[in-house]
């Protein structure tokens, strides 16, 4: 008994991707294992840690809490899609490096997605707003301090027009 496959078309980081997937395949497993976009990470598979955060139609969501088949017809952005069109690091990515907002790097893609979602909605976030925005992303290395610093730094640079 082989599982029924469903055909899907998803725009991933600006590229149309088509596949036939079993219904139970999670979106994060499809991105990682089938598309080999391994930048998005799996931490808990039950919606708490935020390591698998991606943008779905421009909003951060947890990709372990969606089935790939549900993404059919939608637009997904992963960490691999955060760079500038010329391939250089975005301000946000650069600020994370500048402030050393990571250690092991495992939660980092999810943090970047959460931060991007915040900065797109709020150009001048306060400390509290930043902490709330990344409150659903667990990090075990940094104590969050340098992540908060990096998001402030990116907000400042973006406000002065940096890309």
Partner 1 sequence: MKSAPFEYLRADSIASACEALRREGDSAKIIAGGQSLVPIMAMRLVRPSLLVDINEIAALKFIAVERDAVRIGACTRQALVERDDALASRVPLLRQALAWVGHVQTRNRGTLGGSIVHADPCAELPLAAQVLGAKMVLRSSSGARTLAAEEFFTGPMVTATDSSECLEEVHWPVWSEPRTGCAFTEIANRHGDFAMVSAACQLALDGEGRCVRAAFGLGGVGQTPLAFPRLAARLLGTKLDEAVVKSVAQDAAAQTEPGSDLFATADYRRHLAGVLAARVIRAAQEKAGGGK
Partner 2 sequence: MAEEKSPSGFRYIGTKRRTKEDPRFVTGRGHYAADIALPGMKHIALVASPHPSARIVSINTKPALAVPGVLYVLTGEEFQGGTDALYVGVDAPKVTRYALARGIVRYAGEWVAAVVADTRAIAEDAAELVEVEYESLPYVIDPEAALAPDAHLVHKAHGSNVLYHRKFVWGPVEEAFAKADHKLAFRATWGRSSTVPIETFGVAAQWDAGTGLLDIWASIQMPKFPDQAARALKLPGNAVRVHFDVDVGGSYGLKRGIKHTVLVGFLAKRLGVPVRLIEDRLENMRGGDMHGPDRFFDMQVAFDRDGTIRALKIRAVDDVGAYAGRSPLQLGKPVGAICGPYQIRAIEYEPTSVMTNKTPQEAVRGFGQAPTNFALERAMDRVARYLKMDRIELRRKNLIRKDQFPYLIPSGTSYDSGDYHAVLDKALAAIDYPALERERDEARKAGRLAGIGISTCLEPSGGNTSFEILFNPKNETTTWMDSCLVRVDLSGSITGLMNTSSSGQGHETLVSTVIGEVLERDPAAIRVIHADSLSALPSNSPVGSRMAIMLGGAAAGAARKIKDTLVAIAAHNFECSPQDLEYRDGNVNVKGVPSKVLTWDQLVEIAHRKYHQMPPGIEPGLQAKFVWEVPTGPTVPTPDGRVQMYPCYSFETHIVYVEIDPDTGKPSLKRYVCGHDCGVMINPDIVHGMTYGGIAHGIGASLYEKFAYTEDGQLASGTFMDYLIPSAMEVPDIHIVDHCTPSPLTTFGQKGSGEAGYLGAPAAIANAVNDALDPLGVSIDTLPMSHLALWERISSAAKKSA
Binding residues for partner 2 (CB under 8 A):
1-2, 22, 24-25, 32-33, 36-46, 48-49, 51, 78-80, 82-83, 89, 93, 96-100, 102-109, 112, 127, 130-132, 134-148
Query: What would the two tokens of residue 11 be?
Result: 């725009």
Partner interacting with residue 28 (select from partner 2, partner 1, none; CB below 5-8 Å by kind): none
Query: What would the two tokens of residue 138 be?
Result: 């667990």
Partner interacting with residue 41 (select from partner 2, partner 1, none; CB below 5-8 Å by kind): partner 2
Minimum CB separation from partner 1 for residue 77, in Å? 13
Partner interacting with residue 153 (select from partner 1, partner 2, none; CB below 5-8 Å by kind): none
Task: Report yes or no: 137 and 96 within 8 Å, Cβ to Cβ.
Answer: no
Residue 71: name the closest of 37, 111, 48 by CA. 37
* Helical H segments across the chain, by residue range: 27-29, 91-98, 108-121, 127-133, 145-159
Give the nearer residue to partner 2 in terms of CB position, either 31 or 73: 31
């Amino acid at each position: 008994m082989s599982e029924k496959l469903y055909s899907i078309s998803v725009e991933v980081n600006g590229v149309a991707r088509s596949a036939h997937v079993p219904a139970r395949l999670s979106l994060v497993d499809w991105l990682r294992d089938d598309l080999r976009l391994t930048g998005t990470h799996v931490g808990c598979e039950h919606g708490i840690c935020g390591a698998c955060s991606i943008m779905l139609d421009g909003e951060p969501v947890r990709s372990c809490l969606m089935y790939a088949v549900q993404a059919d017809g939608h637009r997904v952005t992963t960490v691999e899609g955060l760079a500038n069109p010329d391939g250089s690091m975005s301000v946000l990515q650069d600020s994370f490096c500048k402030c050393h907002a990571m250690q092991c790097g495992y939660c980092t893609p999810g943090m970047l997605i959460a931060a991007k979602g915040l900065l797109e909605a709020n150009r001048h976030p306060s400390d509290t707003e930043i902490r709330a925005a990344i409150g659903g992303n667990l990090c075990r290395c940094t104590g969050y301090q340098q992540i908060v610093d990096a998001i402030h730094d990116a907000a400042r640079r973006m406000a002065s027009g940096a890309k």
